Chain A
Amino acid sequence: MVKAFEKKLAIGCIKKNDFINMFKPKITLAFWKKNLDILAEEFFYFLSFLLLTGAGLEIILPGFFILYFNIAILALLWLLTLLFLLLYVRR
């Protein structure tokens, strides 16, 4: 398969830019627009589970989770994603 591809490249059927584009991720603005609600929803879930993990850890080992994460910033991000979900995500 690789040989066939090299042959095509050699005879000029495939240009160099096409080759590079093959490996570029297909994430475009349209893609983002289409999947924004999914991303926001999943980010909200991730933050929720992270905060739950943090709360659990703080109960078992007070002060451990906050050594590595700023709770205020996490909570703010969580609220923003929640707000975004409520305002923009359509079901």
Chain B
Amino acid sequence: MLSFHLKIRIFWLILLFLIIIFFVFRFISPSGSWRCHQNFKENGFLFSSLSLSASSCISPASPSERVVYAANGPLLVLADPVYFSIFSPRPFSRAEVEITYRPHLSSSTPVFEAGFLADAKLWRYQLKPVYNLWLEQGFSSWSSVQEGSLRLLQRNKRFTSVSEFLDAWRQQASDLCVHKNCLAVYNLTLNDFPPPLDFSALKQDSGLFKFPYALRGAHQFYFYLPQTGLDLSGSFFDLNDNKDKDEAQFLIFSGQRQVASVSLIDQRPQVEESSDRSPVQNFSIARSDLGPGLYRLEFKANNDLVFNSLRINSSYLSVINKIWPFDQEKIFLFTDAPYLQVKSLDPGALQEFSFGQERVSLSEIYHQYEFKSRQGGLQSISLERGGLILENNGVFAATADSLLNPDYQRLDRFSNLSEDIDFVLADYQPARAEEDAWLHSRLDFESSTFYRENQRYSFILSIPGLKLEGGAGGLLEIKEIRVRFYGKSLREKISDWLH
């Protein structure tokens, strides 16, 4: 007969063994799914913040000053963006996010998006729309057609389905518009469709164009090849301010298709974080097989790399959405968007400069300033020196003649919903209304390429334009976030190994 002492010991050893088995089971997730849930409306959140229960797999929101945890109430998001980290024991290939929220947004903050960190090097999040004020309320008098996830809004009802509109647009886009650019899009790229730009009207010069300014960090460009063959060259150097190795990549895309790439490995002898500048290195990409047409060049690098002397056999070269000039001399740029977001990370770059016909000034570092121009059309930017990060939803070019923007108008927070727009096409699922004016949206992501560190995905809630100062733009109430990850089940993995 076993003694009491031994019985107790066997009991807790079995219990410990079962706990370990439970963790192994949860780690493997044999069903191939993992669920995370955070209800901010329940007492649970305050309860858990008092450390009485185990932690949630969705971390508290950060930075904490941008949110308020109301007692027994929802999470209030007061400024953009707000980050969460979501635990998962292993990587999964698909993520399904459900958010229950109540938006109190205005025309300056019409877009609410959520997403995951997809590229940690460039700090790029893959965002999907949760709520778009324009699409939910802005076109109430317009005719609306939903087909799958695509939604077509028409000023005057002409098409009965989205596919009918797309066929017509592909064949005779210009005939459908009374005004130029009568189609605005949201969360959509119409790569296979005629661009809102007449390429035949572009100049067909074949000489080399030199971009006159040095640019710091990652940049993307549009360029147009008038004839077959690409000849691209330039140089770059390493500032060695950051601790990481500074590898760079040049990628060239035609639509969504990658047509060329060059990787530059960091084998420079200078020590990282030493601020010891590397000698200038040259690079060139020559491809005789690239046909005439529009291309996108992506320079993937971190902020330590500065590239300059960019030469290309195209008269049209425009920087997409963001430009960070590095030169310490006067800089002249052009942009096609009537607004500018400007940030400085360096006190030495703070300055007064002109945008359009306005004189504007920056007095604080790390503060994002927003400037709007009163005039329409092309805007000129004249900087005293570089070091400022300039962003908008248009393109930037060194000369007015080299500016090229083949994108459709985007229905974002800077849209003016002008009379020129006759059609709006969006990849957007309308929010589902629940009781007490709560809305529910569901987003699907392909999560296999998402960045994951310490078993956690980085998740973001973004309401561009929402600021703490003076409560500009309103606020957002979040009642619940529910995340489900899906991947291969144990049975599928075993059958994969066996075959």
Does A30 sit within 8 A of B, measured CB to CB?
Answer: no
Contacts A61-B455, A66-B54; A53 near B20 (Cβ below 8 A) = yes
The 7 closest A-B pairs by CB, nearest first: A46-B12, A42-B8, A62-B454, A63-B87, A66-B55, A72-B51, A70-B54
Which residue in chain A gives the minimum CB-CB distance to B5? A38
Tell whether B418 is near chain A: CB-to-CB under 8 Å.
no
A61, B456: Cα distance in complex, Å? 10
Given contacts A46-B15, A49-B12, A67-B87, 8 further A-B contacts (CB under 8 A): A38-B4, A38-B8, A42-B5, A46-B12, A63-B456, A67-B55, A70-B53, A73-B52
**B54 CB → nearest A CB, Å:** 5
8 Å CB contacts to B: which residues of A40-65?
Answer: 42-43, 45-46, 49-50, 53, 57, 61-65
Tell me whether A53 and B4 are in contact (CB under 8 A). Answer: no
B16 contacts A by Cβ under 8 Å: yes
Check if A64 sits within 8 Å of B15, measured CB to CB. no
Contact of A50 with B8 at beta-carbon distance under 8 Å, contacts A65-B23, A70-B52 already known: no
Cα-based distance from A69 to B16 in the complex (angstroms): 13
- Name the contact of B455 in the complex, choosing from A35, A43, A53, A64 (C-beta under 8 A): A64
Q: Which of B16, B26, B89 contacts A46 (CB 8 A)?
A: B16
| Least CB separation from A35: chain B residue | B4
CB distance from B346 to the nearest CB of A (A): 35
Q: Are A42 and B89 in contact (CB under 8 A)?
A: no
Interface: B271 (CB within 8 A): no
On A, residues with C-beta under 8 Å from B are 35, 38-39, 42-43, 45-46, 49-50, 53, 57, 61-70, 72-73
For the complex, give the distance between the alpha carbons of A49 and B51 in Å.
22
B214 in the interface, Cβ–Cβ < 8 Å?
no
Residue B27 interfacial (CB < 8 Å):
yes
Query: CA of A10 to CA of B328 in the docked complex: distance in angstroms?
Result: 108
Q: What residue in chain A is nearest B52 (Cβ atoms)?
A: A70
Chain A neighbourhood of B53, CB < 8 A:
70
Among B12, B51, B56, the residue within 8 A (CB) of A42 is B12
Instruction: Provide the B75-107 mask, 1 if CB < 8 A to any CB of A, else 0.
Output: 000000000000101000000000000000000
CB-based nearest B residue for A69: B54
Q: Enumerate B31-85 residues with CB–CB distance to A below 8 Å.
A: 51-57
> How many residues on B have C-beta within 8 angstroms of the other chain's C-beta atoms?
25
Contacts of B15 in A (CB 8 A): 46
Q: Please report whether the interface of chain A is mostly helix, strand, loop or mixed according to DSSP.
A: helix
Q: Does B19 contact A (CB under 8 A)?
A: yes
Would you call A49 and B87 a contact (CB within 8 A)? no
Cβ of B9 within 8 Å of any chain A Cβ, yes or no, is: yes
Q: Which residues of B contact A35 (CB under 8 A)?
A: 4
A-B contact pairs, 7 of them (CB 8 A): A42-B5, A50-B16, A61-B89, A63-B87, A65-B23, A68-B22, A70-B52
Decide if B454 touches A63 in the complex (CB within 8 Å). yes
Give CA–CA (A27, B207) in the complex, Å. 97
B455–A49 CB distance below 8 A? no
**In whole angstroms, what is the CA distance A66 to B19 when docked?**
13
Task: Give the nearest-CB partner of B57 in chain A.
Answer: A67
Q: A42-B12, A61-B27 are in contact. Are A50 and B54 (CB under 8 A)?
A: no
A14 to chain B, nearest CB (A): 24
| B residues less than 8 Å from A68 (CB atoms) | 22-23, 54
On chain A, the residues within 8 Å of B57 by CB distance are: 63, 67
Choose from A38, A46, A64, A73 the contact partner of B23 (Cβ within 8 Å): A64
Tell me, in angstroms, the Cα distance from A42 to B87 when the chains sit together. 33
> Given A63-B454, A64-B27, A64-B455, are A53 and B54 also a contact pair (CB < 8 Å)?
no
Given contacts A38-B5, A62-B454, A70 and B51 within 8 Å (CB-CB): yes
Binary CB contact string for chain B from 477 to 492 against chain A (1 if under 8 A, 0 otherwise): 0000000000000000
C-alpha gap A51/B431 in the complex (Å): 45
Q: Please measure, in the bound complex, the distance between the C-alpha atom of A35 and the C-alpha atom of B5, giving whole angstroms.
A: 8
Q: Within the assembled complex, what's the spacing in Å between the Cα atoms of A69 and B5?
A: 26
Q: Mark B300-336, 1 if CB is under 8 A from A, else 0.
A: 0000000000000000000000000000000000000
Which residues of chain B come closer than 8 Å to A45, judged between CB atoms?
9, 12
Closest to A72 in B: B51
Q: How far is the CA of A63 from the CA of B59 in the complex (A)?
A: 10
Residue of B15, B16, B23 with highest tally of chain A CB at under 10 A: B23
Name the distance in Å between A54's Cβ and chain B's nearest Cβ: 9
A43, B15: Cα distance in complex, Å: 12
Partner of B19, one of A38, A53, A63: A53
Say how far A10's CB is from chain B's closest CB, in angstroms. Answer: 31
Q: How far is the CA of A49 from the CA of B16 in the complex (A)?
A: 8
Against A, the Cβ 8 Å flags (1 = close, 0 = not) of B446-467 are 0000000011100000000000
Check if A50 sits within 8 Å of B51, measured CB to CB.
Answer: no
Question: Within the complex, what minimum Cβ distance (angstroms) separates A84 from chain B?
Answer: 16
